[in-house]
Each structure stands twice: as C-alpha cells, then as structure tokens.
C-alpha cells in the first residue's frame, strides 16, 4: 500500500515538472517572437526579468552571501566561493542591435543566433577569463570612441584586480587555517622544548686545524647568531603587537563590512540594459567578492591571533634561549680560536727563534727572517683578539641603545610631556657616550688601516716569491757555495729547502691572519660609524624633546632649604683640603710648570704700565702729511688681549692641573672644569674692560664716546665682582654626587639671571649714559641702536628674566641651555663687532695714506671717514661727503667709490657672519631651525664610487647610486648664496682696488676692465 502511494506521488511530481517546463518553453518562444532575429552582442543581452510587466520592479540576481564559518583548530574551511548567478538572456535582432550601436553598444567577441540556448550560470560566472574576453571584445569594436573604450577597459581592469585580490585573500586564508589547525601541535612541541634543559656549550675543536677552517666555522656561527637574533626579535614584536593587531583587525573588519553593505546597495541599483551599466555591474560584483573574501581572511587572522595568546610568549622564550645559546657557542669558539692562534703563533715564533740561534752563520739571515715573520704573527693575533672584543662591545652597545631608544619612545608617547618624562630624558641624555669616543676610534682605524694594507701587500709579495721552495733553494745554493764549501751540498740543499718551506708555511698563516686583522679593522670602522650615527640620532631626539618638557617640579621653599644645604656641602673643609692636596701634589710633581705660570703672571702684573705706554704710543694719531701703517693697530689689540690674561692665566693653570691630575677625583675634576669655564668668561670680560678703559683703545682707536665706554666699563666691573663667583658656584653645583646641589644650582641660576636683567636694564635704558652718548654723537646718532633703543632695552630685560621664570617653573634644563646659547651669542656679537672695527681702521689707514699722497698734487682727496660705524647706519651712506667732487680726478672718484663699496661689503659681511654664527649656535637647541630639513622637495640620484677590499687585500671600485633629498633648507641656502653673490660681486671690485690694483702700474681703464671681469666671474661662480 505504501509503495502504491509513493508511486502515485512520483507520477504527480513528474507531471507537474513536465508542465512547468512546457510553460517556460512557451513563454520563451512568445518572447522571442516579439523581437527581431539577428546577431547581438553577448555583453548587451537583456534579461527575461526586464521584459515583465511594468508593475513588477526590476531586480538583479543576488549572490548567496554567507558569513564565514567559525574556525576551530581541528576544522579547516575552504575559501569562500561566491556563485555568480545571472538571469537568462535573449538575443537581440539586427534592427534593435543597429539602433543601439550609435549609443555605444559593443559587439561581443562571440554572437549567437535567435535559436541559441541561453547561457547557464556556470558559463556566465565572473572569472578573469571572462573579464579578458570582455576587454578583447571592447578593443575589437571600432564604433566606440577612445575615451569610452578607455573608461570601460579601466573598469574591467579594476574588476580583474579585485578578482586577483580575492584569490590572494583566499590563499592567505588557507594558510591561516593551516596555522590555526597546527596550534595544538606547536604548543606540544614548544612545551617539550622548554622542558628540556639548555644543552651545555661543547666545542668539537678539530685536531691540526687550519686558519681557513676556523674562520669558516666562525663565519657560520656568526650567521647562525644573526638568524637566531632576528627570530627572537620577530617573536618579541609579535608578542608586543598582538593586542594592537587584534584591535586593528576589528576596526578593519568594521570598515570592510560598511563597504560591503554599500557595494550591495550600489549593485542593486545597477542593470545591464546597456554596455556601460553592464561593465559597472561586473566591476561592482568583483569588488563585492574581493571585499567578502578580505573580511573572511581578516576574521581568520583575528582568530589566529586570539588562539596564539599562550603560544607566542613560549615561542619568544624559546627563541631567546636559542639566541643565547648561539651567542655562548660563538663566544666559546671565538675564545678558543683566539687562544689557539696566540699559542700557535708563539710556538712557531719560538721554534723559528730556536732554529735561527742554531743555524750556521751563512744561513742565519734566512732563519732570522723566518723568526721575524713568526713574531709578527704574534702581534697580529693579539690585534685580532683586541679588535674582536671591541667589535663585540660596540655591537652590545648598539643593541642596548636601540632597545633604550625604542623603550624611551614608547614611554614618551604614552606618558606625554610630564616632569617624570623630562627627568628620564635628561638621565638618558647624560648616559650617552661623547662624540670624542667615536672620533678616537675612527682615528685609530684610519691610522691602522694603511699600515695593515702595506703589511699585507708585503706578505703577499714574499708569498709569491716562495711559490716553489725547492726550486728557490736550488737557485740559492750557488750563493752559499763558498761559505759552505766544506759541507755536503746535498745536505745544505735540504737545510735551505727546509728553511724556505718553513717560511712558506709562516707566510701562509701570517697572510691569513693579516687578512683577518684587516677585515676586523673594516668591521670596526663600520660598527663604530653605525653606533656614532645611532647615538647622534638618539641625541637629536632627546635634544628636540628635552628642551620643551619640564625637567623638574616648580620651585618651592624646600629648594631654598636645599640651596643652604648645598652651600654648606660645598664649603666643607674636607673637600677643599682634597683640592689642596691634589694641587699641591701636582705642584711638587711638576714644579717647572707652576714656576713658569707664576713668573708669567708676575711679569704681566709688573709690566702692565710699560705695556699700556706701548699701546698708547701705537694708537697715537699720525700727522696728515705722514704715512700710516696698520700693523701697530693690530699690535695694540694684541696688547689688550695680553693685558686681560692675567687672572685667567692662573685659573687656566689651576683648572688644567686639577682636571687632568694623575690622582684626580671626581670632585677635583669638577673644580677644575669650573675653573676652566670661569676662565673663558673672565677673559672675555677682562678684554672688553681693557678696550673700554679710560683713554684706551675704544676711545683712541675706535672713537667710541667717552660716556659710552664709561658706562660699559662700570657694568663690566660689576660683572667681575658679582658674576664671576656666581658662575663658579653655579658650575660647582652641577657636581651630581653631593646632596642638595640641585636646589642650589637652580637658585644660583635664577640669581644670575636676575643680576643680568638688572645690569642690562641699567646699561641699555633709553635715558642712560650709553644710548644718550650715542644719540648725541654725530657718528652714531643715526645708528640702528639709537633708533631702536627702546625695543633693544625691552628685549635685553625680558630675555634673562624669562629664563629665570622658566627655571623657577620647572623648565630648568631648557632655561640653562638657552642661557648658554645667549652667552655664546653675546660673544659672537662682540667678536664680529671688534673684527668689523679693525677692518674699518684698515680702511681708515688706506684713506689717510691716499690723502697724504694726493695732497701734494693738489687733487681733492677722500676724507678719512672709514671709521664711521657703517655697520649700524641706516642706509649705508657716508656720514661725510666730499664738498666738491666735480673738481676731483677719475682716480680720486674711483678711490672714493672703492671706499664706499668696501664699507658696504663689510656691513653685509658682518650681518651674514652674525646670522651664520647664530644659526650654528642655536641649531642644536631649537628644533624649529631643523624643521625645514624635513620638507623634501625632490630627490637627486648621485653615483658614488667606493673602494672595497676583499680578504686577499685586493681593492676594487664599486659604483652605487645614492638618493640625496633636496630639502627646503637647501633651497633657502641656494637663494641666500645667490643673493649674497650678487651683493658681493657688486662690491668686491672695491676690495680688489684697495688691496691689489693700486699696487699695479695700470691706467684707470684697465682697472675698470679687471673690476668688471671679477664681478662677472664671482656672479657666475655663485650661480653655479
């Protein structure tokens, strides 16, 4: 009964299926009957769904999208496959196809007749081959214009790229699935490996080894250490970045899901009514498939990162243990090889010396040379061992600084600009090695490298001569025929052959050792330079950030209490007795130097009156009809420098002895450094005081107003009285081994800045003696100092006061560094000022001599206006003019023009000198001066030829291309050089006229021609 019922159901189902197929077939034929027959492009076929009634909305077939299944370590899923289902299509007739051609319909690569069967979903699937066929069909059509073709092909290329990305993502997902499935096995293996004890370091040293065998073994071990360290670093990075990567994947998946939703919406709005819509539909389908596969792959990766939370730390520990074992093995082998090399070289040297001592006098020279070669190998072995240790230390330092740099960057990034961060930056900055350490290492390599090359060439030359010891012994036998005539010649030949064979063996090993030594020198140079660059980068990073981060807490009452404690510590009698003991010991050890310093001090002290008389005589004005010379003016300045060196000389001697004494302690070294720093400051102040003394160089030679020099002199005397001891105490308070000195250092710094503010405020106040005297003097009344006296006074007051406030607010390190740069800037200004005045005096001497020469001829000579302070004049015009230039000769006019051009040149040179000096002074402090280096405009490719030496000592030239960026700093420097060239070229003929042309017997026209040529040449050089 049940079988009958089942048969009835089967028959009814078959009947319904046949009826459904007949209905579909009739509907298809009715639809075809309504359209003309003919070939139509496959890319422009219409769907049956588009021929339905108008009430039915047009819909596109949807992809069966399913989210990726959950993955387990024991189940591996296949890549997501998205079936590309498309509706059935009907061909177009010729009439309709022709009506569509003007609208840009493209003939497909293959056509079908009206009776052709509709393509199945498998045949119409979206594949790279289908994309390629569509591109080929579009390229074959001539009815489309080039722009339309280009747009369609670009879309199809994008679709092909998305399909390729889908395949790549699927391949990556398969790899991730395999990794996920293998996690339990990896855990088991890692557990077993970590449970095993570390194997002991055993060295299977070969018997009777050769140097190449040992060097090859060491190279293999070094390579293995590099591999293990790289694996350890990779695992460290994976452990540190696991949580971060999971967070990134979560964000990426969320963004991709949004893009997938947008892609589905856009796909539902597209139809394939025409060619452009169909191509867009293909592109969107490919994009959707790529996005889905990407999302599935990222989820698989996220699952993998979540499952390896226990595995990664264990793999990291195992990798670190392997790296540590590799290092220990390498170190053991290196020590063993170095010991073997030293013992072997000593054994060979002893044997060679024994043979030389027992040799016949006629053969002693041969044996002695063997001993020399063998003994040289002892030195080479010691050098190889020393260089290997140095290279190892540099490598460890480089790794330490790299880890510290990375850790510090993370702390700064997460902690921010806090006082604890500033303290950390300062601590790290103090621990960096000085640049002198790298310079000393580089100097050693530069000195040792040529010597090692020459020695290697010498050894190779001897080795080539010893290529056949037996043949060479036969050739040398005749030279010993007379001295060894009483001995058996065959025996003599055997002895000579043995000596030459030993030499051949010695040279073999010595050459290999020398090659190793040379290679170690090269490795040392590279490692030293790499470490120097690393430390320089680290220092720049610290300098750029430590300046703008609070280095300590704001100043409070306890800082004043610490200041009193620090003063009591500094005034401790035991510490100054230690200074007296060290200085007294140095005095007794080297009494000649101390006697010389004291004698020179007494000579300067007792001979001061005589030196002042000589200086006054040198600065006496010369009569108008006599010639003047420039050297006495320079001698007067040198006398001022000598007179100002009395007390600085004593500080220099004491500071040098305390800092570099044989038994110097950290405290005495700090006292010595304080004396040296104070010496520099005192010498500068004393020099300016000598120049500004009453009836001194400032008044007699530079023609400074008397009231101005008096004001400056009073300020300098106050600075010597209060500023010098304050600076000394400030330097001593930086000795970090004593308690309470930090508060003392900041208190002294604030007091120093307040004192500087008061001094500048009194000296530069607008109604003060200095600026009033400059304003009433006819030479300086139009100078920029007088015109901007109020802003200058305000800046001079605010700058040190701001530094005091910064220090009290907690930015003590920043304030201290800025104050040092301000002091250096003041020194640069004074130096440029003195140099400018000395050059103006030289021009004044030239004008005086020219006036004296032309006075007898009756010509109108230029006035001695060179001493005018043109550097600060408003427009650079002369303060005095020649009243009647119409009556002057061309020579006088040319001379006047030369004077004016030289003054302009001095003014511009002074300004440029100040700018350049201030740039180098402030460059290491202000990151704003280096921010322009980060703006790259373009890249330049340059070919660099370098010499490279191999282990045999042969050199070869290697040409490499190096990319050098052109930054905004380079552009500004080029513009500055261009403008400076134009300025200098316009005024350089005046300098040429005053220095060279006036000494050459030449007419005025020739001088003009030379001046023009020089101007054009300088301009061309500047442009190039």
CA 141: distance to chain centroid?
A: 57
Does residue 955 sit within a domain? yes
Per-residue pLDDT tens digits for 618-658? 988 888 778 888 899 999 999 999 999 999 999 999 999 89
- Dihedral angle of Cα 442, 448, 451, 452, to the nearest 10 degrees: -110
Residues 123-135: what's their mean pLDDT?
80
pLDDT score for 167: 93
Task: Give the model's confidence band at 870: pLDDT under 50 very low, under 70 low, under 90 confident, else very high.
Answer: very low
The residue that leads in pLDDT, 967 or 253, is 253
Tell me the β-bridge partners of 958: 946
179 shares a domain with 202:
yes
Q: Is the dihedral of CA 697, 699, 705, 707 positive or negative?
A: positive
Does residue 383 sit within a domain? yes
424 shares a domain with 292:
no
Number of domains, the chain: 4
Question: What CA–CA distance (Å, rounded) separates 911 from 416?
Answer: 40
Question: What CA–CA distance (Å, rounded) separates 449 from 791?
Answer: 58
Question: What does residue 456 show for φ and ψ, rounded to 5 degrees?
Answer: -65, -40
Question: What CA–CA distance (Å, rounded) separates 740 from 562?
Answer: 5
pLDDT score for 651: 93
936 shares a domain with 911:
no
pLDDT at 820 over 50: yes
503 shares a domain with 370:
yes
- Per-residue HEC secondary structure of 815-830 comes to HHHHHHHHHHHHHHHH
Residue where a domain terminates, one of 307, 322, 347: 307
> Among 120-129, 385-394, 966-975, 979-988, which range has the highest average pLDDT?
385-394
pLDDT score for 645: 92
pLDDT at 671 over 60: yes
Per-residue pLDDT tens digits for 149-182? 888 899 999 999 999 999 999 999 999 999 999 9
Range of the domain at 133: 35-68+77-307
pLDDT score for 1024: 60
455 shares a domain with 390:
yes
Residue 277 is encoded by which pair of tokens? 């819509």
Nearest by Cα to 571 from 727, 679, 729: 729
Can you list the pairs that 968-974 forms with residues at least 24 positions away whose Cβ atoms lie under 8 Å?
968/932, 968/933, 968/935, 968/937, 969/932, 969/933, 969/935, 970/937, 971/937, 972/932
Task: Kindly tell me the burial class for residue 329, based on how many C-beta atoms sit within 10 Å of its own C-beta (0-12, 13-18, 19 or more).
Answer: middle
Question: What does residue 209 show for φ and ψ, rounded to 5 degrees?
Answer: -80, 165
Per-residue pLDDT tens digits for 412-424? 777 766 777 777 7
pLDDT score for 117: 36
Does residue 874 sit within a domain? yes
Residues 659-685: what's their mean pLDDT?
90
pLDDT at 540 over 50: yes
pTM value surpassing 0.75: no
pLDDT at 893 over 70: no
296 shares a domain with 233:
yes
Nearest by Cα to 174 from 58, 296, 65: 296
pLDDT score for 297: 95
First and final C-alpha spacing in the chain: 110
Residue 348 is encoded by which pair of tokens? 């060979």
Residue where a domain terminates, one of 546, 577, 600: 546
Classified as helix, coil or strand, 1 is: coil
948 shares a domain with 899:
no
Does residue 400 sit within a domain? yes
267 shares a domain with 185:
yes
User: pLDDT averaged over the chain?
Assistant: 77
Concatenating the DSSP letter of every residue in 907-966 gives HHHHHHHHHHHHHHHHTTT-GGGTGGGG-EEEEEEEEEEEEEE-TTS-EEEEEEEEEEEE
Does residue 594 sit within a domain? no
532 shares a domain with 471:
yes
Does residue 161 sit within a domain? yes
Residue 706 is encoded by which pair of tokens? 């008397």
Concatenating the DSSP letter of every residue in 639-677 gives HHHHHTTHHHHHHHHHHHHHHS-TT--HHHHHHHHHHHH
Per-residue pLDDT tens digits for 3-27? 433 443 344 444 434 344 333 343 3
pLDDT at 589 over 80: yes
Q: Provide the percentage of residues in the chain whose pLDDT is more than 70.
A: 75
pLDDT score for 62: 34
Residue where a domain terminates, one of 280, 307, 334: 307
pLDDT score for 186: 92
Does residue 278 sit within a domain? yes
302 shares a domain with 424:
no
**In this structure, are residues 356 and 371 in contact, taking their beta carbons and an 8 Å threshold?**
yes
pLDDT score for 748: 92
223 shares a domain with 97:
yes
918 shares a domain with 934:
no
Does residue 698 sit within a domain? no
pLDDT at 77 over 50: no
Residues 532-542: what's their mean pLDDT?
87
Per-residue pLDDT tens digits for 35-47? 333 333 333 333 3
Per-residue pLDDT tens digits for 913-963? 888 888 788 876 665 455 556 666 777 766 655 555 555 555 566 666 666
pLDDT at 335 over 60: yes
């Amino acid at each position: 009964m049940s079988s009958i019922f089942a048969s009835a159901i089967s028959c009814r189902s078959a009947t319904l299926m046949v009826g459904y197929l007949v209905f579909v077939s009739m509907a298809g034929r009715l639809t075809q009957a309504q359209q003309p027959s003919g070939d139509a492009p496959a890319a422009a076929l219409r769907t049956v769904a588009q021929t339905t009634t108008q009430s039915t909305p047009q819909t596109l077939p949807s992809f069966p999208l399913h989210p990726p299944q959950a993955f387990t370590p024991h189940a591996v899923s296949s890549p997501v496959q998205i079936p590309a289902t498309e509706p059935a299509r009907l061909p177009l007739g010729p009439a309709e196809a022709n009506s569509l051609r003007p609208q840009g319909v493209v003939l497909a690569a293959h056509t079908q007749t009206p009776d052709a069967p509709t393509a199945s979903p498998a045949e119409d699937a979206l594949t790279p081959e289908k994309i390629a066929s569509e591109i080929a069909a579009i390229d074959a059509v001539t009815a489309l214009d080039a722009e339309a073709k280009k747009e369609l092909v670009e879309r199809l290329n994008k679709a092909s790229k998305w399909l390729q990305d889908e395949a790549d993502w699927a391949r990556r997902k398969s790899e991730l699935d395999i990794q996920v499935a293998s996690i339990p096995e990896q855990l088991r293996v890692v557990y077993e490996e970590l449970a095993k004890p570390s194997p002991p370091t055993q060295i299977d040293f070969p018997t009777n080894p050769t140097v190449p065998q040992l060097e090859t073994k060491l190279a293999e071990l070094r390579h293995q250490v590099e591999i293990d360290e790289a694996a350890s670093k990779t695992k460290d990075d994976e452990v540190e970045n696991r949580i971060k990567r999971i967070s990134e994947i979560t964000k990426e998946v969320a963004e991709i899901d949004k893009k997938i939703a947008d892609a589905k919406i856009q796909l539902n709005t597209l139809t394939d009514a025409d060619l452009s819509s169909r191509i867009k539909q293909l592109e969107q389908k490919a994009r959707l498939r790529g996005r889905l596969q990407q999302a599935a792959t990222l989820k698989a990766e996220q699952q993998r990162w979540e499952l390896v939370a226990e595995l990664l730390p264990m793999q990291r520990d195992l990798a670190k243990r392997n790296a540590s074992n590799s290092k220990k093995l390498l170190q053991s082998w290196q020590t063993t090889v170095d010991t073997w090399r030293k013992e072997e070289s000593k054994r060979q040297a002893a044997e060679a010396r024994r043979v030389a001592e027992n040799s016949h006098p006629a053969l002693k020279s041969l044996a002695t040379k063997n001993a020399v070669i063998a003994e040289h190998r002892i030195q080479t072995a010691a050098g190889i061992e020393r260089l290997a240790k140095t290279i190892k230390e540099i490598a460890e330092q480089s790794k330490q600084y790299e880890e510290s740099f990375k850790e510090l960057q993370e702390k700064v990034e997460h902690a921010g600009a806090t006082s604890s961060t500033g303290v950390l930056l300062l601590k790290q900055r103090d621990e960096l090695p000085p640049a002198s350490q790298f310079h000393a290492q580089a100097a050693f390599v530069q000195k040792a490298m040529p010597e090692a090359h020459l020695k290697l060439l010498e050894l190779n030359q001897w080795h080539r001569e010893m290529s056949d010891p037996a043949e060479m012994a036969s050739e040398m036998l005749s030279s010993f025929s007379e001295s060894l005539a009483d001995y058996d010649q065959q025996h003599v030949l055997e002895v000579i052959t043995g000596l030459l064979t030993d030499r051949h063996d010695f040279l073999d090993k010595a050459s290999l050792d020398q090659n190793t030594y040379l290679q170690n020198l090269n490795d040392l140079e590279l490692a030293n330079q790499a470490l120097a660059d690393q430390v320089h980068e680290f220092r720049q990073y610290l300098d750029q950030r430590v300046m703008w981060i609070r280095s300590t807490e704001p100043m409070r009452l306890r800082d004043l209490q610490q200041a009193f404690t620090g003063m009591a510590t500094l005034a401790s009698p035991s510490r100054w007795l230690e200074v007296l003991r060290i200085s007294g010991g140095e005095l007794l050890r080297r009494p000649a130097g101390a006697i010389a310093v004291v004698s020179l001090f007494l000579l300067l002290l007792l001979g001061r009156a005589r030196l002042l008389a000589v200086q006054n005589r040198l600065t006496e004005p010369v009569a108008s009809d006599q010639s003047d010379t420039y050297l006495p003016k320079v001698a007067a300045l040198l006398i001022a420098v000598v007179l100002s060196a009395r007390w600085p000389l004593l500080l220099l001697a004491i500071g040098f002895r305390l800092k570099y004494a044989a038994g110097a302690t950290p405290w005495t070294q700090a006292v010595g450094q304080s004396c040296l720093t104070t010496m520099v400051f005192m010498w500068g102040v004393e020099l300016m005081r000598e120049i500004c003394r009453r009836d001194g160089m400032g008044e007699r030679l530079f023609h400074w107003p008397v009231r101005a020099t008096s004001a400056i002199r009073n300020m300098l005397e106050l600075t010597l009285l209060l500023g010098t001891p304050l600076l000394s105490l400030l330097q001593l308070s930086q000795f970090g081994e004593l308690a309470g000195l930090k508060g003392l250092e900041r208190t002294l710094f604030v007091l120093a800045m307040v004192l500087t503010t008061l001094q500048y405020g009194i000296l530069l106040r607008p109604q003060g003696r200095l600026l009033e005297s400059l304003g009433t003097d006819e030479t300086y009344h139009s100078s920029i100092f007088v015109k901007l006296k109020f802003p200058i006074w305000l800046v001079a007051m605010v700058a040190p006061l701001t530094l005091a406030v910064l220090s009290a607010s907690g930015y003590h390190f920043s304030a201290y560094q800025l104050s040092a740069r301000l002091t250096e800037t003041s020194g640069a200004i004074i130096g440029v000022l003195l140099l400018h005045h000395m050059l103006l005096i030289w021009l004044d001497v030239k004008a005086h001599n020219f006036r004296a020469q032309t006075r007898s001829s009756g010509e109108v000579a230029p006035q001695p206006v060179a001493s005018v302070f043109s550097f600060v004049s408003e427009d650079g015009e002369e303060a005095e003019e020649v009243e009647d230039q119409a009556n002057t000769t061309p020579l006088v006019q040319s001379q006047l023009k030369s004077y004016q051009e030289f003054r302009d040149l001095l003014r511009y040179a002074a300004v440029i000198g100040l700018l350049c000096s201030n740039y180098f002074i402030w460059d290491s402090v202000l990151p704003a001066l280096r921010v322009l280096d980060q703006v790259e405009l373009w890249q330049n490719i340059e070919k660099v030829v370098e010499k490279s030496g191999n282990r045999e000592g042969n050199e070869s030239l290697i040409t490499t291309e190096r990319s050098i960026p052109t930054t905004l700093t380079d552009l500004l420097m080029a513009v500055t050089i261009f403008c400076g060239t134009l300025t200098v070229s316009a005024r350089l003929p005046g300098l040429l006229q005053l220095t060279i042309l006036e000494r050459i017997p030449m007419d005025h026209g020739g001088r003009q021609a030379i001046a023009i040529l020089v101007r054009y040449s300088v301009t061309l050089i500047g442009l190039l």
